[in-house]
Each structure stands twice: as C-alpha cells, then as structure tokens.
C-alpha cells in the first residue's frame, strides 16, 4: 500500500486518510485504486459500520488530482493515459456515491477538483472555518468532473453555472448552501472522529454540528440567477457588463479561464438538467475529459499553471464570446464503446 494514503480499520470505522500534505494531499492514480479496493472490501464487512475520510493535517483535505504525469503523457502523445486514469477515478466516484454505509468526510482547507470527487459524494460532509471548496478546472483547460457536474447541476438556481465557469471558492456557509457540504463543525474534530470510530454511528455528526455561518452566495443568489441564465457561455458573458463586485470578479474569471472549457461546462450542465444521476454526470464529463489530452486546451493549461507557472496560457479561442457551437459539440460527442464502464457492484 502506498504511503501516500493511510487505509485501516479502527473500531467500527473504515478509515481513509490522504497523506501527501506537502502536495496538498493531491490525489494520484495509485491512491484512487487503493481507495477502491478498500470500498470493495468494507461494503461486505459487517464489522465496518461507516467510512471516515480525512486528510493529513495541513492546508488541504485534497486540492485536486496530481496532473504532472497527465501533462507528460499529453506532450508525449500518449493520449489514452487520460481515459484510463479517469475511467478508474470515475468508477471510484460512483462507488463512493453509492456506498451502502454512511460515509463521513472531513473537508478541511482546500477541497478542489479530485478532492471534491473523494469528499463531496459522502453522506455526511463536514466543513469548518478553514474550508475552501471549488471546482476550478476551467482555469487549466478542463471541465468540472469527478461527479462535480452532479453537484453543480443540483445547486440552487444558476449557482452551478457560476461556480463551474468561474471556479469561485466557497467557504463553509456557501458550501452548505450550494450542496457541496452538509455540516458545520467549527472545532472538536478529533473528539468527533473518536466517537465515530467507537460507536460507528453517524448521529454523532448531527450532535456536534453548529448552525453554519452566513453565505455570500445565498445573498447573491438572485443576481447570479439573472446573470448566469444564458443559454450559452457567450450569452452569459454578454450579460456581465456591470460594476458590482460579483460581476467584476466573474468577468475577470471568464477572461482568464479557457473559453472552450467554460462553454462546454455550461452546455454540460444544461444537458444534464436539475437532477442527473451520478452515472449521467460522469458519462457527460468523460465525453470532454477523455478527449482532453488530444484536443482542447488541457495540456496548455497545465503548462501555464503547473509546469512553467507563467500564468499566461495561450487558449485556442480568443474569449468567452468566441467559441463556436460546433467546437462545443465536437468535445461533447458521445464516446460510444470508449465510454467509461461505471458498473460498480453486482
């Protein structure tokens, strides 16, 4: 078992601790496979009453996937690498969503991208004042994935479009309002974990929770609903002309992130509707991500943000109003026999 993750049974709990604090607990392919093995065993183990997922102490529960290897594969022309990795990761996301026992996740610090896929499909999702949850994939030429489009599609009003294209970070109150978290527990996490391990009863979470802090997203809901109601990314961009703080920050994000990714994110959410299944969400995400190393802006986005760190990506399209519908359609064509196998347990 890799030292990047600590998997064990303790009391009545199956415990998973992401253990790469120096890398913000970023998720690797091996870590995904190790978690999946544990889920397969624990769902049938009568001694395991619940799952407890946390991250090693530091700045993040999990700040995303480790994508350096992805960049290398893309630059070397090994385009199947992404489909194989994401196929395994998406199967894990589906298993977490459907796990037949309570799953309690402690989402401290940054929880982004792949971290959302591990932590935000749990049945009991806990945040504190340090929590910052986001789906920032459009900044690197990808789209919200790991089942994130399920959460975005189910978010109130047009929050899904707003969070998906801007990558805006949510504190604890906003995360609960948007449906990415359930419980605000500002302190006493060690004691709560001890109680969960001892009793295997998630009722301890309800007992420990406090009323969440206020949510700026809730306060801005009406404005977001009006500004992000467009049918396409271009429609949204043309509405963002005001000088309110929300419009200024959103406009800045739309002119920084990859136009093709944002346009596809909007289209994906509209195709999925208000209440997709996890399989529908992951299947839609795969249409984009399985093509991302060979097409689109993903390799360039990783280069600019992670490899060279020059923060000046050269996107395929000039801006958010310059993405033809045919380019969106090309990225979101059905995959046919190449679609991920999301059959989990029989």
In CATH, the number for domain 5-338 is: 3.90.226.10
> Using an 8 Å Cβ cutoff, are 228 and 161 in contact?
yes
**What's residue 343's pLDDT?**
78
Q: What are phi and psi of 142, to 5 degrees?
A: -110, -165
Q: What is the pLDDT of residues 101-148, one digit of tens each?
A: 999 999 999 999 999 999 999 999 999 999 999 999 999 999 999 999
Burial 97-136 (b: 16+ CB within 10 A, else e): bebebbbbbbbbbbbbbbbbbbbbbbbbbbbbeebbbbbb
Cβ neighbours for 158, distance < 8 A, ≥ 6 positions apart: 224, 225, 227, 228, 229
pTM of the model: 0.96
3-state secondary structure of 172: helix
Residues β-bridged to residue 111: 62, 133
* Residue 170 DSSP symbol: B
Give the pLDDT score at 1.
Answer: 45
- Which stretches of the chain drop beneath a pLDDT of 50? 1
Both tokens of residue 94? 């589906």
pLDDT confidence of residue 157: 98
pLDDT at 65: 87
| Domain range annotation of the chain | 5-338
- Give the 3-state secondary structure of residue 176: helix
């Amino acid at each position: 078992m890799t030292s990047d993750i600590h998997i064990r049974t303790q009391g009545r709990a199956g415990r998973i601790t992401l253990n790469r604090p120096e890398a913000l607990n970023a998720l690797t392919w091996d870590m995904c496979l190790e978690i999946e093995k544990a889920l397969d065993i624990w769902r049938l183990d009568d001694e395991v009453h619940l799952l407890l997922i946390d991250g090693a102490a530091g700045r993040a529960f999990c700040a995303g996937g480790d994508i350096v290897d992805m960049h290398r594969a893309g630059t070397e022309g090994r385009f199947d690498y992404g489909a194989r990795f994401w196929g395994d990761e998406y199967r894990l996301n589906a298993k977490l969503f459907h796990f037949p026992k309570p799953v309690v996740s402690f989402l401290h610090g940054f929880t982004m991208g792949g971290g959302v896929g591990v932590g935000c499909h749990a049945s009991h999702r806990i945040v504190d004042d340090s929590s910052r949850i986001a789906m920032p994939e459009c900044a690197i030429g990808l789209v919200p994935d790991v089942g994130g489009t399920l959460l975005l599609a189910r978010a109130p009003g047009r929050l899904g479009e707003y969070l998906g294209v801007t990558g805006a970070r949510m504190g604890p109150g906003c995360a609960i309002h948007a449906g990415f978290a359930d419980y605000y527990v500002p302190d006493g996490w060690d004691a709560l974990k001890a109680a969960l391990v001892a009793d295997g009863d998630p009722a301890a979470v309800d007992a420990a929770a406090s009323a969440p802090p206020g949510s700026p997203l809730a306060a801005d809901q009406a404005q977001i609903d009006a500004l992000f109601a467009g049918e396409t990314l271009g429609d949204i961009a043309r509405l963002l002309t005001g000088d309110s703080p929300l419009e200024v920050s959103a406009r800045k994000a739309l002119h920084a992130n990859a136009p093709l990714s944002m346009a596809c994110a909007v289209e994906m959410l509209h195709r999925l509707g208000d209440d997709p299944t996890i399989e529908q969400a992951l299947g839609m995400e795969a249409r984009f991500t399985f093509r991302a190393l060979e097409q689109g802006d993903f390799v360039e986005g990783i280069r600019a943000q992670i490899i060279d760190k020059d923060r000046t990506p050269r996107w395929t399209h000039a801006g958010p109003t310059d993405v033809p519908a045919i380019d969106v359609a090309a990225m979101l064509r059905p995959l046919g026999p190449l679609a991920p196998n999301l059959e989990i347990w029989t």
